[in-house]
Amino acid sequence: MVERIENQSAPPEVARDLSFADLREALAAGWSDFRNQPAFGLFFAAIFVVGGLALTYFLVGRGEYTWAIPAAAGFPLLAPFTAVGLYEVSRRRELGLAMSWGGILGAVRGRGDEQILAMGVIIFVAFGFWVIVAHAIFSIAIVEAGAGSESLAFLATDTGLIMLAIGSAVGAVMALVFYAITVISLPMLVDREVDFLTAIIASLAAFRANAAVMIVWAAIIAALLFLAMVPAFLGLLVVLPVLGHATWHLYRRAIRPAVLSI
């Protein structure tokens, strides 16, 4: 009798035939995971929501609009790291493993090799870099418009509109690069014993091999996160878990399982 088991340490093989149907299936599977295990999804989403609200209220309360707006715009960059626990929930449900808070929360440590924590550092550095760049663009626009930092009226001026266009373009490019790096790498680090560089390379390879589908997935994520953030971040309580679980299922489709025959 020949049994085939997955070889977690084998080099990842990237699928090159992702389709838009895979996105629909991933979203359906993500919704199923959330409905089956809502407590975990709500818990991780609540951490993200509370963090976003606290950061926004702190900066707005101090009148730091030139920091508050860039921080709010870039806050979704932190979502992939928040979703690590959701990937573990989907993994356990897929394998029929028991759900436990200790095991789910322990997923942030990865497989004891701190690779996920290393990715977390990269994510937070990227967020900080975006905030600094966006703040600089914002501040230059305020000076050019002759407005005060406590007023947002300049956004309706020609200078303000140009600033929004430039900031949006720069933000879109940075977000797309960041997305290409993390969309497959973080689920892979939860699933396999690989280092974060190998995971990043695999993520970039999956993005290149399926560019159209992956860009549409990025657009879906961005649109849903934006809409969910509008009502005081509260829509994220549902949207973030569903997208997190769905990303796991897309990862499983994008990276072919490596198997051994025994």
Query: What local confidence, expressed as pLDDT, does residue 260 receive?
Result: 42
Q: Which of 71, 46, 47, 48 has the alpha carbon at shortest distance from 58?
A: 71
Q: Token pair for residue 175?
A: 């977000």
Q: Regarding predicted confidence, which is higher, 130 or 73?
A: 130
> What does the DSSP assignment read for 214-262?
HHHHHHHHHHHHHHHHTTTTTTHHHHHHHHHHHHHHHHHHHEEPPEEE-
Residue 146 has pLDDT above 90, yes or no: no
Mean pLDDT of 236-262: 84
Query: What local confidence, expressed as pLDDT, does residue 230 receive?
Result: 77
Residue 225 has pLDDT above 60, yes or no: yes
Confidence of residue 11 (pLDDT cuts 50, 70, 90): low
Confidence of residue 5 (pLDDT cuts 50, 70, 90): very low
Query: What local confidence, expressed as pLDDT, does residue 202 receive?
Result: 94
Q: Which of 125, 123, 129, 224 has the alpha carbon at shortest distance from 182?
A: 123
Residue 65 has pLDDT above 50, yes or no: yes
CB neighbours of residue 232 within 10 Å: 11
Query: What local confidence, expressed as pLDDT, does residue 137 receive?
Result: 79
Q: Regarding predicted confidence, which is higher, 103 or 55?
A: 103
Which contacts of 191-196 are long-range, i.e. CB under 8 A and separated by 24 or more positions? Answer: 191/8, 191/87, 191/91, 191/251, 192/8, 192/9, 192/12, 193/8, 193/9, 193/111, 193/113, 194/9, 194/12, 194/115, 195/113, 195/115, 196/115, 196/116, 196/118, 196/119, 196/122
- Helix, strand, coil share (%) of the chain residues, nearest 5: 75, 5, 20
Q: Where are the alpha helices (DSSP H) in the chain?
A: 20-36, 38-61, 65-74, 79-82, 84-95, 101-105, 115-145, 158-182, 185-191, 196-209, 211-229, 236-254
Query: What local confidence, expressed as pLDDT, does residue 239 receive?
Result: 93
Residue type, 245: H
Tens of pLDDT, residue by residue over 40-62, are 999 998 988 888 778 777 777 77
Mean pLDDT of 18-28: 96
Mean pLDDT of 83-105: 91
- Exposure pattern of 74-106 as b/e (b: 16+ CB <10 Å)? bbbbbbbbbbbbbbbbbbbbeeeeeeeeeebee
Q: Which of 182, 166, 77, 85 has the alpha carbon at shortest distance from 125?
A: 77
Rounded Cα distance, 86 and 107, in Å: 9
- Give, rounded to a whole angstrom, the gap between the first and last alpha carbons of the chain: 8
